[in-house]
Amino acid sequence: MTEFKTIGLVGRPGHAGVVETLNRLLAYLASKELMVVLDSATAQQIGDSSLTTCPRNELSRNCDLVVVVGGDGSMLNVAKAMASDEVPVIGINRGRLGFLTDILPEELQLRIDEVLAGQYSIEKRFLLDVFLRDEGQETYLGSALNDVVLHPGKAAQMIEFELFVGDRFVYSQESDGLIVATPTGSTAYALSAGGPIMHPDLDAVVLVPMYPHSLSSRPVVVDGRSEIVLRIAESNKLLPLISCDGEERYSASAGDEIVVRKKAVSLKLIHPPSYSFYQACRSKLGWGSRLVRNND
């Protein structure tokens, strides 16, 4: 197991509980005599000018491990930079669901102790890259840990598009759009749209139509190595949007060809020994507990 000597800290902005947790974490790491680097925005929240800081996009180059204090949105915000430098990340949950930030604030010292002692597992979560293809040339639009979404923006209007997996035509569709989600994103927006829950170990992508004008349109799961192509219909008058993890990246036009494929690098997500994906589903999604059986 890797020995972590320099720890990076990122905190969700504008949350009093995050600042309290960060201060506890700083005191704990200082007692371990570990080097700590905070991203500049997080340091401003704490208000201690003696702390070592750097811009967020440089954090992964200066650290062996990055700890994110916040919710899943906070993890999504740092995932792309951390994945590019292959620096492992662990999350302390100060959000709502916390599928990606699984350490409870009250267990901070116990769980970080375990990680520093080498008692942890590393889970690789792949990301998606999205491109605009024009006459064989591709322009990079963005990356997503959860999902790439074709949607109409603020107006609730139908989008006409064709879907291809590789060079194979799948269908043409009129709908509010399409969600292209990783296993990580299967418990996010795709789940709300009726998609399946996929285990993080799967090398697969789910394609979830949004309010399709058809009773037979259903989510489709394809190989994670597949190239997904969305071709906006020439007759389409709306300018639909392409979003990566909820961030708008491109306003598409009629005839545009949007390409989605797996990113070459993955996010290294660290979990403490007690972590279980199924337990996370039970607690976050309200699944029932095991039946109590009498021995009589």
Domain boundaries, the chain: 6-120+272-285, 128-264
- Asked whether the beta carbons of 215 and 249 are under 8 A apart, the reply is no
What was the pLDDT predicted at 291?
63
User: Could you tell me the fold of the domain covering 6-120+272-285?
Assistant: Rossmann fold (3.40.50)
Query: Which phi and psi (to 5°) does residue 232 adopt?
Result: -70, 130
Return the H-helix or E-strand segment holding 121.
strand 121-134
Secondary-structure breakdown of the chain: helix, strand, coil percentages, each rounded to the nearest 5: 25, 40, 40
- Asked whether the beta carbons of 246 and 185 are under 8 A apart, the reply is no
Instruction: Please list the active-site residues.
Output: 72
Task: Name the CATH superfamily for 128-264.
Answer: Probable inorganic polyphosphate/atp-NAD kinase; domain 2 (2.60.200.30)
* Residue with tokens 């979003």, as numbered in its chain: 243
Cβ neighbours around 116 below 10 Å, total: 19
Distance separating alpha carbons of residues 141 and 62, to the nearest angstrom: 27
Grouping H, G, I as helix, E, B as strand and the rest as coil, residue 50 is: coil
Q: How far is CA 249 from the centre of its chain?
A: 16
- Give the β-pairing of 6-11 and 35-39: parallel
Grouping H, G, I as helix, E, B as strand and the rest as coil, residue 22 is: helix
Cβ neighbours around 114 below 10 Å, total: 16
Q: Which amino acid is at 9?
A: L
Grouping H, G, I as helix, E, B as strand and the rest as coil, residue 232 is: strand
Return the H-helix or E-strand segment holding 164.
strand 159-165
Which pair of structure tokens corresponds to residue 253?
A: 């036009």
Distance separating alpha carbons of residues 162 and 109, to the nearest angstrom: 51
Name the β-bridge partners of 122.
270
Q: Which amino acid is at 286?
A: G
Distance separating alpha carbons of residues 124 and 201, to the nearest angstrom: 8
89: closest CA among 113, 68, 59? 68
Residue-level pLDDT, tens digit, the chain, 296 residues: 678 999 999 998 877 789 999 999 999 999 998 999 999 889 888 888 788 989 888 888 889 999 999 988 889 988 888 888 889 999 999 877 788 988 999 999 999 999 999 999 999 999 999 999 998 899 999 999 999 999 998 767 889 999 999 999 999 999 999 999 999 999 999 999 999 999 999 999 999 999 888 888 899 999 999 999 999 998 877 789 999 999 999 999 999 999 999 999 999 999 999 899 998 898 888 887 666 665 54
What was the pLDDT predicted at 296?
45
- Asked whether the beta carbons of 99 and 156 are under 8 A apart, the reply is no
